[in-house]
A and B are shown apart, each in its own frame.
Chain A
Amino acid sequence: MKALTKHRLFWPAAILVVMLLANVIVTPTFFRIELKNGHLYGSLIDIMLYGAPLILIALGMTMVIATGGIDLSVGATVAISGALACSIIAEQPDQEAVGGVLTAVAFALGLSLVLGLWNGLLVARIGIQPIVATLILMVAGRGVAQLITDGQIITINSEPYELIGGGYLFGFPFAVLVVAVVVAGTAVLIRRTALGLLLEAVGGNAEASRLVGIRARRLLVLAYVFCAFCAGIAGLMISSNIRAADGNNAGLWIELDAILAVVIGGTSLMGGRFSLAGTVLGALIIQTLSTTIYTTGVPPQVTLVFKALVVTAVCLIQSPAFRAKVFRRRRPTGPASPAPAEAEVAA
């Protein structure tokens, strides 16, 4: 039991379970999953479907944060990617054509890679601080998205494109399958090769890692490109889910949710050690929180306060120092204080 509570993923997982159980109390049918029109339907499916873009972005963000950086431009990349894909499809004579959709997807993802490269070069080559470097694209990116959509919401009617974010494959939401593949692929690449170790080394101490012969700059650029690529896919999902590109609102503030997901998942903003599974849990916690607010009927005026309180509680529960204090107060006769080594493991 003790070993279990000390696992670094114990607290995020426990919080997610508590949230889901709280939902069941309010909505008894919360866990019910049924087949409707040949696809799975239910609250849990919704959480995964709407959480899919956030999981992807948070995954990319984890890589960037592991290097000690941060990427504020993912929301803008989401908007640009969706805007480009939809505007290309809207110009096709036949919007239903699979070839046209694939072209649009390729262009959108290609542009996302270029945007990631831009961020990476600013950070790694020119040496601008990550928060400033990516702030440039965060601010300018929405303008670019507006330029692509001409300030309008572009609505499209394309079945193949709709599959990406709103469609189902063998009854499963396609977006969730995409996320599963990307997460699994990343996990294999990161943990079965030395890549993860190198990333953590760069995040832990860039100078030291350079001196032992790690090409830190190249890794940095790679992290930002990967992050933008994830944001690009998320942008396709978000626009596909509503069959429209909204340059103003697509992915607005999603960078903050993504950073929060990474932090809840137990990755330090200082860089170094990171946890992919923790990030996925963190993103699911945030999406579950949103769904909880809608289904339990928290009044819109207090939604943000409610969210803030929950997030504060989540962060406090995860803090070893906080837990140690509460623990001590409850059992004043117990052992004087938890060993510092214990706190380190839990962190």
Chain B
Amino acid sequence: MLKKLSAALTAGLLASVLAACGGGGETSASGGGDAGSGKITLGFSQVGSESGWRAANTKSIKDSAATAGIDLKFSDAQQKQENQIASIRSYIQQKVDVIAFSPVVVTGWDAVLKEAQAAKIPVILTDRAVDSDASLYATFIGSDFVKEGEEVGKWALEEFKSASGPVNIVQLEGTVGSAPAIDRKKGFESIIAANPNMKVIASQSGDFTRAKGKEVMQALLQANPKIDLLFAHNDDMGLGAIEAIKAAGLKPGADIKIATIDAVKDGMTALAANEINFIAECSPLLGEQLMELTKKAAAGETLEKRIVTKETTFTPQQAAEVLSTRQY
């Protein structure tokens, strides 16, 4: 009996594991290369599908390619550099017109970028940077994390400009050592330095997650009786912190002002409900811009080395207006 059960279990779990892996493979609209159709072919290697943000990013790229009439070959690297290098190599062999990818890590891209260059295929980096020489790729399109931090800083300066006493700020940082965490902190702190009243009294990492955001905020609330402003490096940590603030018997958005970055749907919902006061967008919707760049690169134009994604900021009123049409 037990033997049969264990066999069934093995089969069941294996099936689910295989299904989990199956989401990855390459999907391609048409089989061969760009044989005479006149259509531009773009080979895109995505990092993986780790978050709602990333899912929106993938959807934006796929939809924009269809609208722009670009033949998209899409692969998912499942957070592994070797997968990404393998798919870029296969794009080179298929002689696509342009290659784009969102690098898993910063280092180790020189060899494959040189191969692409030797095959005269322009490469566009999306969303994340690499440490290779800038001559090896055509352009890098993505968010400017420093600017996002600065936007929050500017809003905070304006919000607390009439404050007479000191303004106690608590910061929930992203994963230690990650580019968004470093840059957002730098941008924010450089702007608020203009007002000596504004002081970051505690700054801890919440690992970009809700659970950690709540746990850290709860501890910070115990240690710091007076907090005026919370700056969370992403919406999720902010949403966790809101729960902690409520548990402390305070009103998020009123007793403690909250500013975050990202503008995912859950964050925007909280913003519209006045539980968050300000969100600087970090948009995953770079598909349209990417397709324009693809066309230019395929036509042999020289591109600017750094292109910033079109991004904006939201107040509660603006959030309430766009909430129903928010894609992610």
Q: How far is the CA of A324 from the CA of B240 in the complex (A)?
A: 46
Chain B residue with the shortest CB-CB distance to A144: B16
A156–chain B nearest beta-carbon distance, Å: 11
Interface stretch (choices B126-134, B242-250, B281-289): B242-250
Q: How far is the CA of A29 from the CA of B16 in the complex (A)?
A: 50
Q: How far is the CA of A244 from the CA of B23 in the complex (A)?
A: 23
Asked whether A295 lies within 8 Å of B210 as measured between CB atoms, the reply is: no
A303 at the interface (CB under 8 A from B): yes
Asked whether B52 lies within 8 Å of A152 as measured between CB atoms, the reply is: yes
Chain A residue with the shortest CB-CB distance to B212: A249
- Contact of A143 with B20 at beta-carbon distance under 8 Å, contacts A117-B9, A248-B51 already known: yes
B144 at the interface (CB under 8 A from A): no
Interface secondary structure of A, over-half rule: helix
Asked whether A300 lies within 8 Å of B204 as measured between CB atoms, the reply is: yes
A90–chain B nearest beta-carbon distance, Å: 13
B214 at the interface (CB under 8 A from A): yes
Asked whether B55 lies within 8 Å of A151 as measured between CB atoms, the reply is: yes
Interface stretch (choices B31-39, B109-117, B151-159, B219-227): B219-227
Enumerate chain A residues within 8 angstroms of B219, measured Cβ to Cβ.
43, 46, 290-291, 294-295
A301 at the interface (CB under 8 A from B): yes
Residues 264-291 (chain B) with a chain A CB within 8 angstroms: 266
B80–chain A nearest beta-carbon distance, Å: 13
Q: How far is the CA of A72 from the CA of B55 in the complex (A)?
A: 29
Q: How far is the CA of A299 from the CA of B204 in the complex (A)?
A: 7
Interface stretch (choices A34-42, A98-106, A177-185, A193-201): A34-42
Q: How far is the CA of A166 from the CA of B20 in the complex (A)?
A: 31
Asked whether A140 lies within 8 Å of B13 as measured between CB atoms, the reply is: yes
Enumerate chain B residues within 8 angstroms of A151, measured Cβ to Cβ.
49-52, 54-55
Asked whether A248 lies within 8 Å of B50 as measured between CB atoms, the reply is: yes
Of the candidates A114, A137, A249, which one forms a contact with B209 in the assembled complex, judged by CB atoms under 8 Å apart? Answer: A249
A275–chain B nearest beta-carbon distance, Å: 27
- Contact of A294 with B223 at beta-carbon distance under 8 Å, contacts A36-B248, A36-B249, A248-B51 already known: yes
Give 30 CB contacts A-B under 8 Å.
A36-B249, A41-B248, A50-B215, A117-B9, A118-B9, A121-B6, A125-B6, A140-B13, A140-B16, A143-B16, A146-B49, A147-B19, A151-B49, A151-B51, A151-B54, A152-B55, A153-B52, A153-B210, A241-B243, A244-B210, A246-B210, A246-B236, A248-B51, A294-B215, A294-B216, A294-B219, A295-B223, A297-B202, A299-B203, A303-B176
